[in-house]
């Protein structure tokens, strides 16, 4: 599935299964909440914090997909074509950072 297809899929789901999009500020808060859930798993499973028994069954991929879902909603609501935005962003990073990371002694 392409990013464009994902945006369309989310939009169709919202319009056929969901009632409507939450407003942009609610979705921004939802995005923050979902990123927090990813951060909780990462810090406990891969970081130095101990994982609580209630966190052990959490599916990291599912939590990441929740982040993507809300991001796609926000893109649809604000008229952002994420395919085009990502392509521009990749071009910017490729031009700006082409030597930056290679020349970083911390990454050697």
Rounded Cα distance between 11 and 5, Å, is 10
CATH number for the domain that contains residue 44: 1.10.287.1080
Q: Which domain holds residue 25?
A: 3-82
This prediction's pTM = 0.89
* Residue 23 lies inside a defined structural domain of this protein: yes
* Residue 103 lies inside a defined structural domain of this protein: no
* Residue 60 lies inside a defined structural domain of this protein: yes
* Residue 59 lies inside a defined structural domain of this protein: yes
Provide the number of structural domains found in the chain. Answer: 1
> To which residue do tokens 């990441």 refer?
64
The full 3-state SS of 20-74, as one line of letters, equals CCCCHHHHHHHHHHHHHHHHHHHHHHCCCCCCCHHHCCCCHHHHHHHHHHHHHHH
Hey, what are 47's tokens? 């970081």
Residues 46-90 have pLDDT tens digits of 999 998 888 889 999 999 999 999 999 999 999 999 999 999 999
């Amino acid at each position: 599935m392409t990013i464009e297809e994902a945006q369309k899929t989310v939009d169709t789901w919202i319009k056929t299964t969901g009632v409507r999009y939450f407003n942009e500020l609610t979705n921004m808060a939802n995005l923050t909440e979902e990123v927090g859930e990813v951060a909780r798993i990462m810090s406990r499973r891969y970081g130095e914090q101990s994982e609580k028994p209630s966190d052990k069954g959490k599916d990291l991929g599912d939590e990441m997909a929740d982040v993507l879902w809300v991001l796609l909603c926000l893109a649809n609501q604000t008229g952002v074509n994420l395919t085009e935005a990502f392509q521009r962003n990749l071009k910017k990073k490729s031009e700006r950072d082409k030597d930056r990371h290679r020349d970083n002694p911390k990454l050697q």
